Amino acid sequence: MKRVMIFVAVLAACLFAFTASADAAGLAVRGVGGHMTIAAPDDIDATIGLGFLLDMDIVGSQFGVESYASYWSQSESAFGVEASVSDFAMGGRGKYKFLTSSTSVHPYVGAGLGLHFVTAGVEIPAYDFGGIIIPGTSVEDTNVNLGLDLGGGMAFDVGERISLLTDAWGVIVSDVSQFMLRFGMIYRIP
């Protein structure tokens, strides 16, 4: 619970600071949203993740910027030993939006950078070998890595203020590169 509260506080501070500086740089804040991801990290089973995003456009162009925060976690157990890996990422992506004849479908490609706080841990229970007890132990380590995001997708306007998005991203991160399918919703700010 403590990690969730810290995550929400950091996210809110970043969004307020980024929105103020974006307005000064000629970016128009288009909307805020949330997303669910299916993350498939290297050498780890696929898992579900959650996140938030802030969607902006460069005024008068087909280019946009997205600021995001996301989190996924995966655990596996064997013979009483539990191993877990999680990734909390914050970053930004530039997007190029293709022109289409439809006013409600917006395809795009993009690239960006993100900071990935990757935590790996192992928990080994105590074992009793006929009166000889080997104590259990747990180890956890967190690394901060820079990741490169490459991908694209589509946004679909389903109302005046609501857009749905679906996209795919290849994220290159040291030790935990991953492929992500993302499904989300954006509330357009008037």
Give the global pTM: 0.80
pLDDT in tens, 53-75: 999 987 677 889 999 999 999 99
Mean pLDDT over each residue of the chain, to the nearest integer: 86
Domain boundaries, the chain: 2-188
Among candidate residues 76, 23, 33, the one with its CA nearest the CA of residue 182: 33
Among candidate residues 35, 36, 41, 37, the one with its CA nearest the CA of residue 179: 41
pLDDT in tens, 14-49: 555 555 555 555 677 889 999 999 999 988 899 999
User: What token pair was written down for 78?
Assistant: 């064997």
- The fold adopted by the segment(s) 2-188 is Porin (2.40.160)
